[in-house]
Structure 1
Amino acid sequence: MGALSVFLQTTRSGRADFTQVVTLPPRASEGSTRVARTRSSNGSFAFQRPGRFRFVYAAPLPQTIVADGKTLWLYDEDLNQVTVRSQAGALDDTPAALIAGAADVRTLQSSYELANDGARDGLLWVRATPKAREGQTQQLRVGLRAVSPSQVELGAFEILDSLGQRSLLTFSRMQVNATLPADTFRFTPPAGADIIRP
């Protein structure tokens, strides 16, 4: 977990492009063969610790997710709908808690069981299993790339949810400790959008 510790201690902000591949649990198809289904999306990502991030999904379904430190905004462009939630507690067992929330490994260990998960594809993997079993996330794996002994960047995330769905986010063109514009983590609902506050 040394790479994760270095990442948390030295990385205050960052931005990257990402590709996400979601593998849905297999279902019976013709005959009795069970076939897993996948879907892919891509976009851009930025974060600033503590507690701020922005995911912009460009294709195939445009969507923006922004956490400004207090509020979590989810904008579905096709539906012209914005879901607004308090950020407190909403992100506890998500990748965002690992990237943008925790100050150090000790803080993470209060919510996760952490274990080194070996090296693969040029990344050092750490497995994080939420201690609270009632959440949607069963397990997270974070893949980190050691750029130097004192700099580690985010390479990938793998998320397994309670329904058996697996999501793999792969990051490219990562800029560590990038200077981000002040409005990166602000969100203003578009005119005419339906606002939902569950």
Structure 2
Amino acid sequence: MIRFAPAAALVAVAAAIPSASAQQGDLAAVQAHLRSVDSMTAAFSQTDRAGKVLTGTLTLKKPGRIRFQYEKGVPILIVGDGKAIWFLDYSVGQRSRWPIGDSPLGVLIDPSRDISKYAKVVPSGSPNVLSVEAYDAKRPEYGRITMIFERQASAPGGLMLQGWVALDSQKNRTTVRLSNQRFNVPVSDNTFRFNDPRRGTRRN
């Protein structure tokens, strides 16, 4: 089992910088992984900047669909329905919407993206761990995401996604760790439907 370092350490720039050829090879491997994954399910553990931990189930289906189903008793849901990312808070009856391209999560669910144009490899401290930071300098309001992979020959593209660290435009940091990952499994489109918290109606 891979062990995560503290979130700050995951994105720190170490003294050793990968060579240009190593960068290109590692980015190509990440691109191959992302393009070979059509769907995924996993358990997740999410830690916010205050240290609060929430758990739940992640379901992903390309293009554009993702669902963070939190543990029982948490009145929050995050869903990507193919067009947008929705943040739903049922405790106060509110919702927020972002185009998929405006979210750091877009790198995981948009197979058309060429990450070589806006991503770089950052030192991980282990030859078996590959860390890639995706950030569009022209769109800083979109935030950034550092994806953590473990090299595994049996995983899609030879990489196993272990989680990520997301930093939004307000500098709020969220660390997500995955376990029990399953790739390219059948996932129903109904998984990404949700009830509008403002009216209690169901949305496709």
Task: Please give the TM-score of this superposition, normalised by the length of structure 1.
Answer: 0.73
**One-letter code aligned to 1:3:** A
State the alpha-carbon separation in 2 of the partners of residues 82 and 128 from structure 1. 29
In the alignment, is residue 19 of structure 1 matched against residue 41 of structure 2?
Answer: no
CA distance in 2, matches of 1:157, 1:134: 18
Q: Write the mapping of 1:1-198 to structure 2, written as runs, cut at 5 A.
A: 1-23=27-49, 37-58=50-71, 61-79=74-92, 81-83=93-95, 85=97, 90-104=99-113, 107-110=114-117, 112=118, 114-120=119-125, 123-137=129-143, 139-148=144-153, 150-189=157-196, 192-193=199-200
Deviation at 1:91, TM superposition (A): 2.8
Cα contact 1:11–1:177 (8 A) shared by 2: yes
Q: Could you say what the CA RMSD is over the residues aligned between the two structures, in angstroms?
A: 2.8
Instruction: Give me the whole-angstrom Cα distance separating, in 2, the residues matched to 1:140 and 1:72.
Output: 16
| Residue of structure 2 in register with 1:32 after alignment | none
Q: Are the equivalent residues in 1 in contact too, given 2:84–2:100 (CA < 8 A)?
A: no
SS at structure 2 position matched to 1:16: strand
Identity %: 24
1:30 alignment partner in structure 2: none
More helix per residue: 1 or 2? 2
Please list the CA deviations of residues 147-177 of structure 1 after superposition, one character each: whole Å capped at 9, or x if unmatched.
2164423211112233332211111111011
CA contact (8 A) 1:93 1:130 kept: no
* 3-state DSSP of counterpart to 2:186: coil
| Amino acid of the structure 1 residue aligned with 2:95 | T
User: What is the CA–CA distance in structure 1 between the aligned matches of 2:135 and 2:197, rounded to whole Å?
Assistant: 37
- Following the alignment from structure 1 to structure 2, what is the Cα–Cα distance between the partners of residues 145 and 134? 28
Q: Residue type of the partner of 2:31?
A: S
Runs of 4+ residues over 4 Å off in structure 1: none
Q: List gaps (5 residues or longer) in structure 2.
A: 1-26
Runs (5+) with no aligned partner, structure 1: 24-36
Match of 2:138, SS?
coil
CA distance in 2: counterparts of 1:191 and 1:115, whole angstroms: 40
1:153 aligned partner, one-letter code: M
**Partner residue, 1:27:** none
Change (3 A) 1:71 1:82: farther
Query: What SS is found at the alignment partner of 1:98?
Result: helix
Aligned partner letter, 1:94: S
Letter in 1 for 2:65: R
TM-score (structure 2 length as normaliser) = 0.72
The residue number in structure 2 matching 1:26 is none
Residues of 1 paired with 2:69 and 2:29: CA distance?
27
Q: Cα–Cα, structure 1 residues 78 and 51, in superposed 2: closer, same or farther, change >3 Å? A: same
Distance change in 2, residues 1:183/1:194 (3 Å)? closer
State the number of aligned residues.
Answer: 173
